[in-house]
């Protein structure tokens, strides 16, 4: 089991839990590995947070010290990087980003030549090197790698997107929240090329305002902007733009569950929904499942994390899946989540059906949901406690098919997440409180 790699790479606070020493080791191992086992070509991109320049410089010098060449995409989005890796001649790609986290955090996401996040067979030896379990020799001076400007890759990515979705968006009034992140360097190019009638907010990255009261985790700004400007639809990206949430003309959220429903239903109508299945995670709302059942669409549930969604899609040859948070994957255009691609895919459905996003997603009646975190001394001990397991089962029996309870550990922090969905907010509050109080009574709270 990976020690440093979570569900989305290695992540931590810059200069505290994520340091240049750690990043140097990741870069040196990858440089050594692909110099010996590949073409020796690695592409590197970054989002707009203050520490990204520092980590880009560190990664670059580490990689070329082991004999690989580095191609710098500079400021970009994770999906732009994933597209270029899987469609051009690179061994690997590295994204410097902590996605939706605040600017103080940063992360290293590593993608293989297929554009997918690397698996344990590469993560584990990287971690062994990070723990000084073995050493690596530097290459001799004549074999040191080179550094190339590859900023043209952004235009290659935009050209591809616009060919996949050759839309005329002039008749739809669109609002975009670019989150002061990577989307600032991609979204405007794509929407302009598609003749869109659009306006943007949060398009002035300064290193510290990425994700700050904006983007897909803070929808208040885009909701107000859409309502005040009488827009037909709004889209809010996260820091590295691998996810997106939509806003309808009333300023109401269209979350990942509703987006997945719209896309799955459209694919079914077109006879393209392989296996008649949508892949969701345990976090998807029960309202999505009921809407799918009403439309004779089956679903498969996996653990949280886009890696788990991708694995299920690939293993079963399904074509669409994602997360409530807006990380959506349509395999007809690649196995990587892409907020901009998802936005264009939704607009394509809107144009083809001549219906609003509200009309298209109205079948999904979202059940009230309450999620609370509790910091605990040991996540596994709490999960193994018979009294707590019995309480969870008791609540599940009580809710039956009119709700659900989910208690799961955080993948990156010493937290347990307690979530209940039910018919009313009061029921959610009561049942979540029962579990949280039991954990406290048992002395597990940290």
Asked if residues 25 and 132 have their Cβ atoms less than 8 Å apart, the reply is no
Edge to edge, the sheet with strand 233-237 lists 197-201, 173-177, 233-237, 244-247, 253-254
Pairing of strands 41-46, 69-75: parallel
Asked if residues 432 and 438 have their Cβ atoms less than 8 Å apart, the reply is no
Most distant CA pair in the chain: distance in Å?
70
Q: Is 164 helix (H, G, I), strand (E, B) or coil?
A: helix
Please count the helices (runs of H) and the strands (runs of E) in the chain.
15, 18
> Which has the closest alpha carbon to 92: 73, 126, 117, 124?
117
* Active-site residue, selected from the candidate residues 99, 284, 325, 361: 99
Asked if residues 297 and 370 have their Cβ atoms less than 8 Å apart, the reply is no
Phi, psi of 90 (to 5 degrees): -120, 150
Which residues does 68 contact at the CB level (< 8 Å), separation at least 6?
30, 31, 34, 35, 40, 41, 42, 91, 145
* DSSP 8-class letter at 371: E
- Please confirm, yes or no, whether 57 is among the known catalytic residues: no
- In 170-304, the DSSP E strands lie at 173-177, 197-201, 233-237, 244-247, 253-254, 277-281, 298-302
Q: What is the CA radius of gyration of the chain?
A: 22
Phi, psi of 350 (to 5 degrees): -60, -45
Q: What's the sign of the alpha-carbon dihedral 164, 77, 179, 287?
A: positive
DSSP H or E stretch at residue 61: helix 52-65
Which residues does 291 contact at the CB level (< 8 Å), separation at least 6?
261, 363, 364, 365
> Which has the closest alpha carbon to 318: 308, 330, 327, 328?
330
Catalytic residues, by residue number, are 99
């Amino acid at each position: 089991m990976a020690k440093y790699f979570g569900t989305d790479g290695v992540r931590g606070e810059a200069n505290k839990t994520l340091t240049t020493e750690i990043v140097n080791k990741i870069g040196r191992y990858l440089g050594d590995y692909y110099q010996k086992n590949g073409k020796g070509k690695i592409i590197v991109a970054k989002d707009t947070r203050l520490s990204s320049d520092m980590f880009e410089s560190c990664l670059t010098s580490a990689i070329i010290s082991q004999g690989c060449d580095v191609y710098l995409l500079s400021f970009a989005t994770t999906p732009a990087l994933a597209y270029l890796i899987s469609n051009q001649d690179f061994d690997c790609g590295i994204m410097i980003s902590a996605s939706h986290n605040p600017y103080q955090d940063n992360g290293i996401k590593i993608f293989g030549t297929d554009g997918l996040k690397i698996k344990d067979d590469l993560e584990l030896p990287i971690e062994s090197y990070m723990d000084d379990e073995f050493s690596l020799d530097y290459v001799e001076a004549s074999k040191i790698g080179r550094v190339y400007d590859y900023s043209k890759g952004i235009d290659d990515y935009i050209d591809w997107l616009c060919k996949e979705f050759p839309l005329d968006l002039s008749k739809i009034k669109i609002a975009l929240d670019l989150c002061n992140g990577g989307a600032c360097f991609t979204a405007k190019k794509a929407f302009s090329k598609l003749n869109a009638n659009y306006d943007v907010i949060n398009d002035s990255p300064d290193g510290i305002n990425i994700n700050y009261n904006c983007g897909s985790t803070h929808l208040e700004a885009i909701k107000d902007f859409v309502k005040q400007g009488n827009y037909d639809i709004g889209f809010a990206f996260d820091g590295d733009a691998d996810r997106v949430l939509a806003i309808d003309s009333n300023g109401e959220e269209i979350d990942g569950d509703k987006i997945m429903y719209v896309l799955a239903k459209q694919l079914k109508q077109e006879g393209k929904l392989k296996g008649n299945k949508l892949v969701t995670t345990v976090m998807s709302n029960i309202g999505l499942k009921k809407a799918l059942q009403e439309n004779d669409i089956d679903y498969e549930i996996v653990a949280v994390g886009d890696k788990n969604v991708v694995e299920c899609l690939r293993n079963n040859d399904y074509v669409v899946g994602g997360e409530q948070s807006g990380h959506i994957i349509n395999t007809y255009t690649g196995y990587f989540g892409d907020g901009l691609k998802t936005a264009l895919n939704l607009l394509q459905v809107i144009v083809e059906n001549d219906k609003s996003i509200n009309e298209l997603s109205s079948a999904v009646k979202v059940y009230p949901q309450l999620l609370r975190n509790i910091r605990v001394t040991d996540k596994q001990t709490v999960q193994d406690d018979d009294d707590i397991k019995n309480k969870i089962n008791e609540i599940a029996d009580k809710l039956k098919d009119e709700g659900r309870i989910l208690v799961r550990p955080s993948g990156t922090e010493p937290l347990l997440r307690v979530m209940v969905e039910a018919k009313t907010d009061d029921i959610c509050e009561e049942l979540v409180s029962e579990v949280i109080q039991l954990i406290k009574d048992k002395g597990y709270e940290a």
